[in-house]
């Protein structure tokens, strides 16, 4: 005999539960704060260890490898800080599933990145020029030693250009008073001006011979003396052009090196951001307790 089933009592009606946002901003902020604190703490410890091992009086090349060590230290510090930040976010985020946990870690990474960029551009810059001013000055002096390569080349190029510009004036002063015909002075100036304007590496033989003929015909100098003077002017011109060409080539190489370095830095920065995002999400997933009722597989 089948016993009749008693219907389950209807749930008591009450006010609907208010909708809750799936984003736990409190957890994100907590994770961000923890990541930044851990980052700062590790950076200070690494700075203390690095400066303690720094001895320029003994080491002939104290700055050798400092760039590589700083880059590795930055990556390790960022990875630890983002993992801890994601861990805290995952622990405090509530009523989320496994996918939302990862997204909370990603959001923590985004906030940490934005805050870090802002701090690097404002607060940390002021701190480094103030409290760490002594260290900054020492590093600046070393940096200036490498940074003066391109400016030195540019200065040499400017000097060569200035010498070429003054070459015509020097020639005219040297020939002043030697001309027997004013028209010859104008013809001579036209040829020299054309040579300087064209800026060729070498002087054309036709221009050279024309200058020699003008000087030999319209001054009291002999053919040999005119040829010696013109060749001396041409040598000065071609040496200046050679210096200018070398400086231009070095500037192009420096610009190419800077562009390659900037391109490489941009690529590694992008890779670092992606890795940081993955680490923050992993930390959030590890921090979310599997026993929490609200945490379940999506």
3-state secondary structure of 41: helix
Over residues 29-39, the pLDDT tens digits come to 999 999 999 98
Structure confidence at residue 273 (pLDDT): 83
Q: pTM of the entire structure?
A: 0.55
Identify which has the larger pLDDT, 77 or 2. Answer: 77
Predicted confidence (pLDDT) at residue 79 exceeds the cutoff of 70: yes
Percentage of residues in the chain with pLDDT exceeding 90? 12
C-alpha 5/C-alpha 197 separation (Å) is 109
Predicted confidence (pLDDT) at residue 5 exceeds the cutoff of 70: no
C-alpha 211/C-alpha 217 separation (Å) is 10
Q: Which of 209, 207, 238, 264 is nearest to 71 (CA)?
A: 264
Q: Are 93 and 284 in contact (CB under 8 A)?
A: yes
CA distances from 291 to 3, 283, 287, 288 (A): 39, 17, 11, 9
Q: Count how many residues are written for the chain.
A: 298
Long-range pairs of 240-245 with CB within 8 A, sequence gap ≥ 24: 240/160, 240/163, 240/164, 240/167, 241/160, 241/164, 241/199, 241/200, 241/201, 241/202, 242/201, 243/156, 243/157, 243/160, 244/157, 244/160, 244/161, 244/164, 245/201
* Band (147; pLDDT cuts 50, 70, 90): very low
Mean pLDDT of 234-255: 83
Structure confidence at residue 146 (pLDDT): 40
């Amino acid at each position: 005999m089948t016993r009749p089933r008693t219907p389950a009592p209807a749930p008591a009606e009450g006010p609907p539960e208010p909708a809750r946002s799936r984003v736990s901003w409190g957890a994100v902020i907590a994770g961000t704060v923890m990541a930044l604190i851990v980052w700062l703490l590790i950076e200070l410890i690494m700075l203390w260890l690095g400066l303690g091992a720094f001895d320029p009086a003994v080491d002939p090349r104290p700055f050798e490898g400092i760039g590589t060590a700083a880059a590795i230290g930055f990556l390790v510090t960022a990875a630890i800080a983002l993992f801890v930040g994601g861990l805290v976010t995952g622990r405090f985020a509530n009523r989320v599933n496994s996918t939302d946990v990862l997204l909370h870690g990603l959001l923590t990474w985004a906030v940490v990145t934005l805050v870090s960029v802002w701090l690097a551009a404002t607060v940390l810059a002021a701190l480094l020029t103030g409290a760490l001013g002594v260290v900054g000055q020492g590093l600046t002096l070393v940096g200036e030693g490498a940074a003066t390569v391109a400016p030195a080349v540019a200065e040499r190029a400017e000097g060569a250009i200035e010498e070429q510009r003054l070459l015509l004036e020097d020639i005219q002063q040297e020939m002043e008073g030697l001309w027997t015909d004013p028209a010859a002075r104008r013809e001579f100036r036209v040829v020299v001006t054309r040579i300087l304007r064209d800026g060729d590496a070498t002087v054309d033989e036709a221009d050279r011979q024309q200058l020699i003929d003008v000087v030999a015909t319209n001054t009291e100098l002999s053919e040999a003396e005119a040829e010696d003077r013109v060749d001396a002017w041409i040598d000065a011109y071609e040496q200046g052009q050679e210096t200018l060409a070398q400086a231009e080539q070095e500037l192009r190489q420096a610009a190419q090196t800077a562009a390659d370095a900037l391109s490489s830095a941009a690529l590694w920065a992008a890779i670092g951001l992606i890795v940081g995002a993955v680490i923050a999400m992993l930390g959030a997933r590890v921090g979310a307790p599997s026993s929490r009722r609200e945490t379940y597989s999506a």
